[in-house]
Structure 1
Amino acid sequence: MSGSSRGPRDHTGIATGLRLVLAGASLGTGNRGVEALARAVIDSIGRDSADAALSVLDDGWGVRAAPAFGARSDLVGVRWSRRWHRPESWARIRLAQALGRADANPAAARFAAADAVLDLSGGDSFTDLYGPARLAAVSAPKRAAIRAGRPLVLLPQTYGPFTTSRGRTSAERIIRSSSVAFARDPWSHEQLLSLAGPDADHTRLRRGVDVAFGLEARRPTEGVAEQVEQWTSGLTAGVNVSGLLLDSAARTRFALAGDYLATMTQLVRGLLAAEAQVVFVPHVHSSGGVGESDMAAIRRIREQLSSRERSRTRVVPPDLDARELKWCISRLDWFVGSRMHSTIAALSTLTPAAAYAYSDKASGVFETCGMRSQVVDARQSAGGEAVDAILTSFNDREVIRADLAAAVPPVVEESRTQLRDLLTDVGRWRDSGGTAEPIV
């Protein structure tokens, strides 16, 4: 991997034969937002560096071929596991690295050979907001890249909030040890600068955009597509209800201003009263539609509607993938969501959208498109006040659509060029000695 000569390039100028590891997002998840992040990066690598060897970390078992990503690509299982003897266990990976036996462990071997480790943190999980165990899991591949001495690239994501000094200190060390870090919105970029500290090389603390803006929509199977086209033949409002926010524990955890389910039910009734047909769009789905599944939230709202109201609602099949859901959302006249990547699917297809948000991340991403005014903060507003604000967005949908038509195309283009430019950087690092200096 080392050497000072300039390696081979393709017609784009990107170095050929790159060896890449993608962490912090996988396709084998019911979270379509995380899937959208992974798919957008995989598709970009396929377009711009088709002969790259790409290893995508997931929570599966063993190493599995992934020909859809490229001829030299695979899926590599890694996980926190009490089965510490399993090669997928982070304990075994750390041990192999500590003993200098990376070749004895599939994941450790891929970290050791990587020209760069690209990490997404699930888009918004580089925080201790979800607890120390979640932060440890999100940090594990980052630490593995640092231990291997390979360039760590933090792809566009949210940084923080960090509510504990331990969590913040851990994040600061990881960021300062990375080679490049992208924030996906202005707010996150400010957090990134603060975490990196004043002595950091700010040219490598970059303000980017969420990679899911560049995800291409895909028409579902004909039966589903025809059904959605029938549903959207008249005035149609799409609604994403988050299963994460349903119970009283969530209200306390996220400091919500009121009853989330009651607010969303009132909103659905308001949309129906405005003569719109409501199409529910689940964006996180678990087996059986339980737990934090959006299907559980949808069911509870529909149960509260009268039979007449319920007859004017539809539910997009929860098993569609991220690209197919994006196509469905693009057919709507207007959309509101609490899952942020459901709203990115709308914004990036020029579909007027609002967010009923539980964190600052939505405001930052909407600001990317000049749409911050279309975010209603669930921590500050609930009930009739929140519903009125969201319905104002619905009523202003044609004005919003015109504004999106001007603001969004450059954002979509940036989501793709930032990855293309990064691959050029990785090739340069490889050609100049196989690594890159840390930010600090």
Structure 2
Amino acid sequence: MSHLFFLVGNAPYSNRGCEAIVRGTMRILRREFGDDTQAVVASFGSKEELLRQSAQETDSGIKHVRLELPSRFSAGWWLRQIDKVLGTKLACNRRAVSHYAAIADAALQIGGDNYTLDYGYPVAFMEIDRLVWAQSKPLVLWGASVGPFDSDPRFQEQIAAHLKRFNAILVREGRSEEVLHEMGIENNVSRMPDPAFVMEAIEPDTDKLGFDLPEGAVGINLSPLMAKYTTAGDLHKWAEIGAAIVSEVRRTLKRPIILVPHVTSADPTKDDGALLRKIAALLPQSVKSDVYVVGDELSAAETKWLISKCALFAGARTHSTIAAISSGVPTLCFAYSTKARGISEAVYSSLDYCVEPDVLTPEAVSSAMARLDAEADIIKSRLRAALPELFEECFAAARILKKIISHGS
């Protein structure tokens, strides 16, 4: 009998990190539950995104459903009005969540940082959890970051009581584990690296890549989100700084540069591709000929393949750095979040290869990249030693899940 899992809390594949989580999760589940394991992936996003994602899905065992908005004047519609005022997502498709939770073996909350305050209060995800619990199905927080919540003691008390109800909380870094322990949550907590670590890379067609891959290149991912931490949200000013960073790295390392988007969007405040194209346009002529900009067409697995071919990598998007690290590429993290610092500590056992936003200057980045280049052989050796254990920890999570399901049956 095939197994069915309900994967909730993710964003569309236009965020390659969200796709990487799904791909890695399916590999983990199928290793333990069999190749015929299937999943329903429920995500917030537009109808157009869902249709495109479903049409382009390469895994026949995955079905996509949209957490869509309810009809006018229904109970869900009134929740939507609350959403507009509070910026929440309470008005998810309750019927769909309840239906798929009822028929699944278990539900996995797969959004990597939903249970933090990085993007506001996780009230929408908490409501989804309650709908799953109403169906008496196991619920696991899957390879995620948690907290901190101490900036709001009242909410911290509420979320602590909520998290204790999970059958398992599988956290991807030590800092999240510490947060949970400080909140008195220990019995259902285990470690699990981000599932994107085990996503397999796929080589794209040459036509899709758009250029011949240069030898010894440095891959760089910069995101619009970093403007919030570096230029008070001024995207143009951040693009100018980004161009200066790329120019200085090129001057220092004398290697070709590949600019790699990891999130694409019609919203320029979220679209890596638009930012990287602007950065490329701002480069001096002496640098432009050695800088390549990747288009928006590559999947998460194809992007990982491209990153794996780089000699060095530096990334803002956490899952761009996971793609690099899991491929054994010496990687510098632009650490504006707890998850980035935590993952760097988990892999390198230090923050030596992180650059904080308050020191994110062209000189600081090029200096850090020069050090990365000089220590590349040592770092590769460390990664070769560390990665097999990280991969095994990912696969071990499915055994925890299997035990939970068997106890509930």
Partner in structure 2 of residue 18 of structure 1: 3
- Change in Cα spacing, 1:171 to 1:239, as seen in structure 2 (3 Å) is same
The alignment status of 1:232 with 2:205, answered yes or no, reads no
Partner in structure 1 of residue 84 of structure 2: none
1:406 is aligned, of 381, 385, 399, to 385
SS in 2 for 1:291: coil
In the aligned structure 2, how far is the partner of 1:88 from the partner of 1:24? 20
CA displacement at 1:364 relative to structure 2? 0.9
1:210-236: CA deviation from partner (whole Å, max 9, x where unpaired): 1111110011124245x55x3322x21
8 Å CA contact 1:66–1:75 kept in 2: the answer is no
**Aligned residue identity for 1:284:** V
CA displacement at 1:55 relative to structure 2? 1.9
Partner in structure 2 of residue 209 of structure 1: 193
CA displacement at 1:357 relative to structure 2? 1.4
The alignment status of 1:221 with 2:214, answered yes or no, reads no
Partner in structure 2 of residue 45 of structure 1: 29
Partner in structure 2 of residue 95 of structure 1: none
**Aligned residue identity for 1:393:** L
8 Å CA contact 2:219–2:259 kept in 1: the answer is yes
8 Å CA contact 2:116–2:148 kept in 1: the answer is yes
2:289 is aligned, of 277, 288, 311, to 311
Alignment of 1:191-210 (within 5 A): 191-195=179-183, 197=184, 200=185, 202-210=186-194
Partner in structure 2 of residue 187 of structure 1: 175
- Change in Cα spacing, 1:84 to 1:124, as seen in structure 2 (3 Å) is farther
**Aligned residue identity for 1:76:** V
CA displacement at 1:116 relative to structure 2? 1.5
8 Å CA contact 2:249–2:366 kept in 1: the answer is no
SS in 2 for 1:188: helix
SS in 2 for 1:23: strand
1:258-296: CA deviation from partner (whole Å, max 9, x where unpaired): x75454333311221121100000001113x72211112
CA displacement at 1:307 relative to structure 2? 1.8
8 Å CA contact 1:179–1:204 kept in 2: the answer is yes
SS in 2 for 1:410: helix
CA displacement at 1:65 relative to structure 2? 10
Partner in structure 2 of residue 31 of structure 1: 15
8 Å CA contact 1:343–1:353 kept in 2: the answer is yes
In the aligned structure 1, how far is the partner of 2:55 from the partner of 2:95? 17
Alignment of 1:349-388 (within 5 A): 349-370=327-348, 372=350, 373-379=352-358, 381-388=360-367
Partner in structure 2 of residue 169 of structure 1: 157
SS in 2 for 1:369: helix
**Aligned residue identity for 2:367:** D
Partner in structure 1 of residue 326 of structure 2: 348
In the aligned structure 2, how far is the partner of 1:303 from the partner of 1:84? 48
Partner in structure 1 of residue 42 of structure 2: 57
Partner in structure 2 of residue 97 of structure 1: none
Alignment of 1:234-273 (within 5 A): 235-246=216-227, 251-252=231-232, 260-273=238-251
SS in 2 for 1:142: helix
8 Å CA contact 2:97–2:132 kept in 1: the answer is no
Partner in structure 2 of residue 148 of structure 1: 135
RMSD: 3.1
Partner in structure 2 of residue 110 of structure 1: 100
**Aligned residue identity for 2:157:** T
- Change in Cα spacing, 1:297 to 1:53, as seen in structure 2 (3 Å) is closer
Instruction: Name the larger-Rg structure.
Output: 1
* Structure possessing the higher relative contact order (Cα contacts under 8 Å, 6 or more residues apart): 1
SS in 2 for 1:177: coil
In the aligned structure 1, how far is the partner of 2:71 from the partner of 2:232? 31
1:139 is aligned, of 118, 122, 126, to 126
CA displacement at 1:358 relative to structure 2? 0.7
8 Å CA contact 2:249–2:365 kept in 1: the answer is no
CA displacement at 1:303 relative to structure 2? 2.7
**Aligned residue identity for 1:48:** E
Listed as ranges, the gaps of 5+ residues in structure 1 are 1-15, 92-103, 254-258, 432-440
Listed as ranges, the gaps of 5+ residues in structure 2 are 81-93
**Aligned residue identity for 1:130:** Y
SS in 2 for 1:246: helix
- Normalised by the size of structure 1, how large is the TM-score? 0.78
Alignment of 1:117-136 (within 5 A): 117-120=107-110, 122-132=111-121, 135-136=122-123
